[in-house]
Structure formats: structure tokens, C-alpha cells
Structure 1
């Protein structure tokens, strides 16, 4: 028999932890995007002194598991006195701050490559045309390179956003009580793994659906040339002229 009372009580407890999950998601995604913009700018630079550190950053954070990165930040950085005496300690002293930093630095590595791909997809002819009409570098970036990059990178970035929602579940391993963390607490008290994790999975499923739809709407708004045009009326048949003899 399905215990609806237990399911409803579990769902309410998990929904109470949803703001923590959303806060983790939006904080890490925003911070990661800002960091990725800088890393991507360095990555496409012609100067090796800028491009090689960006390559190393992307290689490091894309090549190691997020769980290990979070453990190194949570358990490792506090061992250094320079960290404990710096302003960063106000952030890294809490499990929530460590989780946000780890998630942001990880997603920045992937997002930087997405942005780089979008930048390199801009046709060279459009850049040359902008320079030919007298656009400055900043105007060219704002009017030509930026919009094209955004349209090209948005589908891949929506996938990264979905992955970030699911990655927030790892924060429960460093005692951040998000949806997954509360689910584990309930399981430890009730030993009802299936029902609890089904409720948690449903919350993540709905959340990811909303994110995908929001990203699809933004992509639709940025791509007017791809929208379906309204069906036009069939043209009136042109009367045939009599052929000349």
C-alpha cells in the first residue's frame, strides 16, 4: 500500500529545503559565469601569457571530479594560515560558502569552453564588415560578437545549467542541508529509501524542466530569424493570357 501521508510529509520537508538548493544553484551559476567570461577572454587571447593559464584552468577543472574539488576546498584550504587570515576565510569557513566556490569554479571551466566555441563561431566576414563601417572594438563586441556568441552558446549552456542543478546534490556531503541532504536525514530516521528519493527526484525533475523551458524561451527570443512565419494565403491564380498565334 502507498503511504500517502508519509509521501506528503516527506515532500513538504524536502520543499522546505528547496530555497537552499535554489540559492546554491543561482549563486554558483552566476559566480561561475563571471569567472568563465574572464577565463574565456584569456583563452582566446593571442598572448601565451594569458591563454596558457586559461588552458590549464580549463584542463584542471574539467579533468577532475567535482566531488574531489569540493573536498579539497572544504577540507584542504583551511589548513593554510594565509587562507585563514585573508578575506576569503569569511566565505570558506562555512560549508555553504565552500560548496558555492567549488560549484562555481567547476562550472566556470565548462562554461569558458562553451563561450570560446561561441566566439569562434562568429563569421569572420561579420567582424570585418563591422570594422569596415568604423565600429570600435567595444561596439563590435556589443553589437556583433556578443549577440552571435550568445545565440550559439545558449543551447550548450542550458545543458550546463541542468547539470549544475544536479551537481548541487553533492553539497550535502559537506553538510549543506539542501534537498538531497534533508532526504538523507529522513532516510536515516525512517529507512524508507525508495519513497524519499522518489520525492527528491520529482523535485529535481520539475526544477530542471522549468530551467530548460526558460532557456528555450530565451533562445526563441534571441533567434527571430528561426521563428515560424505565419502561413500566407495562397496567391490568386493568374489568368492565363491567350497565346499568340
Structure 2
């Protein structure tokens, strides 16, 4: 307890191991984490929209493979998926002699693939549920105007579903931010990897990991604030008058 109190005293007074070198590692780790999370979420959303539409198809040969994909990736740990992509890609015949090896020999891109497939599976189910819960009155009104299925999907169903899916998708973004910490196990120098570096070099676990935890906390609250602002603007019509 005395050591812990001493550490907090050092933290408040600024006498912790934060040099220009370690801060550069933290900054590099922050940039890598933001890039990894942002790209995986962006590509995941692009994949999830058509998958969510296909998930609700009446044709079994379309919806069953999508259901199997989301079931597998939501039912297995992200760390296992990362290991399978990172270590398993070398077992493909000829991959090391192909042009793709330039991409896959770097840990960032296998991690990006694993994260993208994982978040796309969750986002597909989020959007599918939102599309499925579209009010029948909206669909009947669109049909009364003579809209085709594609036009109704683009102008009525998807915009309405995106608004309803916003709270759940905000949680998925936060989950991906926190889950990105596993990227450090495949030699990626993200925020957690930077904390491991400082801990290994200076043997300062409290300084390293609590500082990184505070960075994650700030990022999380920034995401929460952004999504709550969007919810207030996009879902304002659902609030009672005077609320």
C-alpha cells in the first residue's frame, strides 16, 4: 500500500518515467491503434450493409452462408481469429512467393483482416435486427407510393434502420477499441504494445499500464460523446415533446 501511495504521489508530482523516447512510443502506439480500429470499422461497415440485407433474404442459399459466417465469428474469441489469420496464412501454398506476401508478412494487415471480419459479423447482426424491426407502416407507405424494393431499401428502410442501430453500433465501436489491445500479441506496437515496451525497459508497470488505461478511457468517452450527440440529432423525433 505504501508503494502504491508513493506511486500516486510521483504521478501527481510528475516524477514518473515519461521521457521523450517513451512518449514517442506512446504516440506511435496511439496512431497505430486508431488506424487499426478506424480501418477495420470502416471496411466492416461497408461489408455489413449488403450482408445485413442478404441476411434477411428469403432465399436460403443467400442467408444461410451469411448466418454461418456471423455465427462463427461471433461465437469464437477475437484472439483465436487473430492467431488463425496471422499464423495460418503461411500455410497457403505459394503465398510466400506471391505478391501478397508483401502485405501478409507485416503483422498490421493480418490483424486488420481479423478485426474487420470480426466487427463485420457483429455489425451485420446489428443492422439485420434494425432492418427486421422496420415499422410495417413505413413499408406500406413506401409501397403505396409505388416504390420498388431497391428504392424502398435505399430511401426508407436503410436510413431508418441506421438510426435505430446507432446505439448498438456505438457499443460495437467501443468494443473494437478495447479489443484492439490483443493486437500487441502479434508484435504490433499499439498502445498496449507501447505499455509493454515501457514496462520491460524501465520495469514500471503502474506508470506504463495506468497511463495507457487513461488514454483508452479518454478515447472511450470521446466515442460515447460522439454517438450520443448523433443519437440526439438523428433520434430527436422519437423523444416526447418538451423532453
| TM-score class normalised by the smaller sequence | 0.7 to 0.9
Structure 1 pair 86–170 and aligned structure 2 pair: CA distance change class (3 A): same
Q: Does 1:159 align with 2:171?
A: yes
2:50 to 20, 30, 38: 38
How is 1:195-234 mapped onto 2 (pairs within 5 angstroms)? 195-226=207-238
Structure 1 pair 219–85 and aligned structure 2 pair: CA distance change class (3 A): farther
Instruction: Show the counterpart of 2:195.
Output: 183
Q: Tell me how far apart the structure 1 counterparts of residues 233 and 98 of structure 2 sit (CA, whole Å).
A: 44
Q: Does 1:6 align with 2:54?
A: no
Q: Tell me how far apart the structure 2 counterparts of residues 111 and 86 of structure 1 sit (CA, whole Å).
A: 32
Q: Once the 2 structures are TM-superposed, how far is the Cα of residue 218 of structure 1 from its aligned partner? A: 1.5
- Which deviates more, 31-40 or 112-121? 31-40
Q: Name the SS for the 1:23 alignment partner.
A: helix
Deviations 1:105-136 (A, max 9, x none): 01111111100110011012211210111122
Q: Does 1:76 align with 2:78?
A: no
Instruction: Show the counterpart of 1:96.
Output: 108
Q: Name the SS for the 1:17 alignment partner.
A: helix
Structure 1 pair 88–156 and aligned structure 2 pair: CA distance change class (3 A): farther
Q: Once the 2 structures are TM-superposed, how far is the Cα of residue 87 of structure 1 from its aligned partner? A: 5.8
Q: Once the 2 structures are TM-superposed, how far is the Cα of residue 139 of structure 1 from its aligned partner? A: 2.5
Larger Rg: 1
Structure 1 pair 215–45 and aligned structure 2 pair: CA distance change class (3 A): same
2:184 to 172, 176, 179: 172
Deviations 1:194-231 (A, max 9, x none): 22110000000000110111111112221231457569
Q: Tell me how far apart the structure 2 counterparts of residues 5 and 212 of structure 1 sit (CA, whole Å).
A: 32
Instruction: Show the counterpart of 2:3.
Output: none
Q: Once the 2 structures are TM-superposed, how far is the Cα of residue 66 of structure 1 from its aligned partner? A: 0.5
How is 1:108-147 mapped onto 2 (pairs within 5 angstroms)? 108-147=120-159
Q: Tell me how far apart the structure 1 counterparts of residues 93 and 50 of structure 2 sit (CA, whole Å).
A: 28
Instruction: Show the counterpart of 1:21.
Output: 33
Aligned length: 231
Q: Which 5+ residue runs of structure 1 have no aligned equivalent?
A: 232-245
Q: Tell me how far apart the structure 2 counterparts of residues 223 and 150 of structure 1 sit (CA, whole Å).
A: 11
- Which deviates more, 199-208 or 37-46? 37-46
- Which deviates more, 219-228 or 177-186? 219-228
Q: Tell me how far apart the structure 1 counterparts of residues 149 and 97 of structure 2 sit (CA, whole Å).
A: 41
- Which deviates more, 106-115 or 13-22? 13-22
Structure 1 pair 228–18 and aligned structure 2 pair: CA distance change class (3 A): farther
User: With structure 2 as the length reference, what TM-score do the two structures score?
Assistant: 0.88
Q: Tell me how far apart the structure 1 counterparts of residues 203 and 120 of structure 2 sit (CA, whole Å).
A: 37
> RMSD value over aligned CA atoms?
2.0
- Which deviates more, 138-147 or 203-212? 138-147
- Which deviates more, 145-154 or 37-46? 37-46
